[in-house]
Amino acid sequence: MNTKWRQQLHLEPPKGWLNDPNGLSWFKNKYHVYFQYAPDNINGGVKKCWGHYESTDMLSWNFTGTVLFPDTPYDASGAYSGSAVVNGDELYIFYTGNVKHIGDYDYVYNGREANVIKVTTKDGHNMTAKQVLLRNSDYPDFCSCHVRDPKVWRKYDTYYMILGARTLDSEGGVLIYQSADLTDWRYKKCISVPNFGYMWECPDCFELGGSTYISVSPQGLAHGETENQNLFSSGYFHYGGELTDFTEWDYGFDFYAPQTFDAPDGRKILIGWMGMGDAYTNPTAELGWQQCLTLPRELARSADGAIIQKPIREIDTLRGKCTSIADGTSVTAALPFDLCASVTKPFTLRLDSIMMKYDGEIFSIEFDGDTGFGRDIRRVRANNCHDMRIIADMSSLEVYLDGGRYVMSTRFYPEGSTAELIPNRIDIELYPLKGMEMNINGK
């Protein structure tokens, strides 16, 4: 197989298509990362399955195959996104069974079912029979047929479920359900913000540093110069009775539908899909696969309530010897690498076909001509940025600014397995990175 652009640090589908991360969990001494998977459809389509990776250390990953298929009348058009919670010696998985009836339907107000389905597993990949827990008739009357992506968590002795929804008036919102036993779910409330998109996908709710946050991926927000630049957005609100201060998770081209989970050492970790709807193309599609997940990122609450994201510290163990590159010198760096720099003034950094610029206020990444396969320019307002870290993989960049206060992720497709770096008015430190072990077993 032609392995050009195969990622060495990011989870990809062995073949076909990947989108949202699902069911993120720590269970029986392993990390579990499920994902929306269409092994036989390079462009995704609707009939999504769940693929599964597991790892003991988030540094070497084992693909165990396709573990959930759309094979019942309740999920016939796709085993859509969902989450997992550990219950005794089982992992409980909750996901959306998508059903599109054949006929003359608009699929918003009719013709579509969205079922919350539960399966359990003792080993992470062999699933029990499917049990439908909620159907459209169980959702409030003000909802359209678009209700999906259950994220379940436990607080004390109660379980909660948050679902993304589109109302009959095309407003986005989330529904909260409650359960004592993970099977019988009672509707509690809908939380929303007026005029903030028509649909909220892939919600999440978590506590961090004493604050409650609700994360959503809204569709239909107005695009700005430095915010909501992508086709669809993804960010978090503070939640204290109402939703306030929407902040985007990532200002790059490729980011959507993130999910959080707790590592056994107490870290709150987020993984997103490093992709974006039908907005751009990826030349790996011609090689038989496309799309990947972001690196797992550790979250922390800063004093002002913003969430700081950093690549998991495990990445540091992959670093080789550091080289310092002075302002104005050009180097050809082998991928993957980890680049760090202190920022004291405006600078530019050329990285292969991408120009990065910081003017003291706005940081931008811009592709030359059509080298971005539909990606052009993305900006973030990053006043007084003190530092920058870039994790470059074979075909992606994650740029962490100001200690992880702002992140920009993008796919990029260099000619070879190196990238030319030209720093201007900035000194950089470059660590080569060893690749992770990705055992995809030819599945």
96 makes contact with ligand FRU (CB under 6 A): yes
Instruction: Output the CA torsion 372→377→382→387 (10° steps).
Output: 30
| Cα–Cα dist 202/207, whole Å | 17
Q: How far is the CB of 441 from ligand FRU (least distance, A)?
A: 24
Query: What residues are annotated to the active site?
Result: 20
Q: How far is the CB of 148 from ligand FRU (least distance, A)?
A: 5
Q: How far is the CB of 178 from ligand FRU (least distance, A)?
A: 22
Q: Which of 93, 202, 276, 365 binds ligand FRU (CB under 6 A)?
A: 202
| Cα–Cα dist 301/307, whole Å | 5
Residues in the chain: 443
48 makes contact with ligand FRU (CB under 6 A): yes
Q: Which of 54, 75, 201, 393 binds ligand FRU (CB under 6 A)?
A: 201
CB 54 within 8 A of CB 64: yes
The answer for 266, left when phi > 0, alpha when psi is -120 to 50, beta otherwise, is: left
Judged on CB neighbours under 10 Å (0-12, 13-18, 19+), 422 is: middle
Name the nearest CA neighbour of 25 among 118, 96, 123, 112. 123
Q: Which of 20, 204, 254, 338 binds ligand FRU (CB under 6 A)?
A: 20
Which residue carries 């720093």 as its tokens?
423
Q: Which residue's CB is nearer to ligand FRU, number 113 or number 149? A: 149
Footprint (CB under 6 A) of ligand FRU, residues 243-262: 256-257
36 makes contact with ligand FRU (CB under 6 A): yes
Q: How far is the CB of 275 from ligand FRU (least distance, A)?
A: 8
148 makes contact with ligand FRU (CB under 6 A): yes
Q: How far is the CB of 190 from ligand FRU (least distance, A)?
A: 17
174 makes contact with ligand FRU (CB under 6 A): no
80 makes contact with ligand FRU (CB under 6 A): yes
Q: Which residue's CB is nearer to ligand FRU, number 80 or number 406? A: 80
Name the nearest CA neighbour of 234 among 292, 274, 279. 274
E-strand stretches of 129-232: 131-134, 143-155, 158-167, 172-179, 186-192, 199-208, 211-219
Q: Which of 12, 54, 75, 149 binds ligand FRU (CB under 6 A)?
A: 149
CB 221 within 8 A of CB 171: no
Footprint (CB under 6 A) of ligand FRU, residues 206-225: none
Q: Which residue's CB is nearer to ligand FRU, number 277 or number 416? A: 277
| Cα–Cα dist 148/96, whole Å | 6
Footprint (CB under 6 A) of ligand FRU, residues 369-388: none
Residues that bind ligand FRU (CB under 6 A): 19-20, 36, 48, 80-81, 96, 148-149, 201-202, 256-257
